[in-house]
Amino acid sequence: MPLPAYVTDLDQVVAQAIAEDVGICDWTAQLVPAGQRASARVISREAAVICGVAWVNAVFARIDPSVIVEWDVADGDRVVPDQQLYRLHGAARSLLTGERTALNFLQSLSGTATAVRQYVDAVAGTGTAIVDTRKTLPGLRNAQKYAVLCGGGQNHRVGLYDGILIKENHIAAAGGIGQAIAAARALDAGVPLMTEAETLDEARAALAADVDLLLVDEFSDADIREAVRLTRAHRAGGGRTLIEYSGGATLATIRQLAETGVDRISIGAITKHVRAVDLSMRVSAG
Q: Which of 41, 62, 134, 167 is catalytic?
A: 167
Active site residue 100: yes
Active site residue 217: yes
Q: Which of 100, 134, 225, 272 is catalytic?
A: 100
Q: Are 69 and 56 in contact (CB under 8 A)?
A: yes
217: helix, strand or coil: strand
Distances in Å between the Cα of 273 and the Cα atoms of 47, 128, 193 are 18, 22, 28
Q: Which of 99, 196, 202, 244 is catalytic?
A: 196
Cα torsion at 158, 162, 167, 171 (round to 10°)? 170
Distances in Å between the Cα of 116 and the Cα atoms of 69, 106, 140, 151, 263 are 27, 15, 16, 5, 17
Active site residue 196: yes
Q: Which of 217, 226, 259, 278 is catalytic?
A: 217
* Cα Rg of the chain (Å, integer): 23
- Cα angle at 46 between 89 and 128, to 5 degrees? 115
Residues 6+ apart with CB under 8 A from 16: 139
Q: Are 22 and 94 in contact (CB under 8 A)?
A: no
Bridge partners of 200?
A: none
Cα torsion at 228, 234, 240, 241 (round to 10°)? -30
Catalytic positions, please?
A: 100, 135, 167, 196, 217
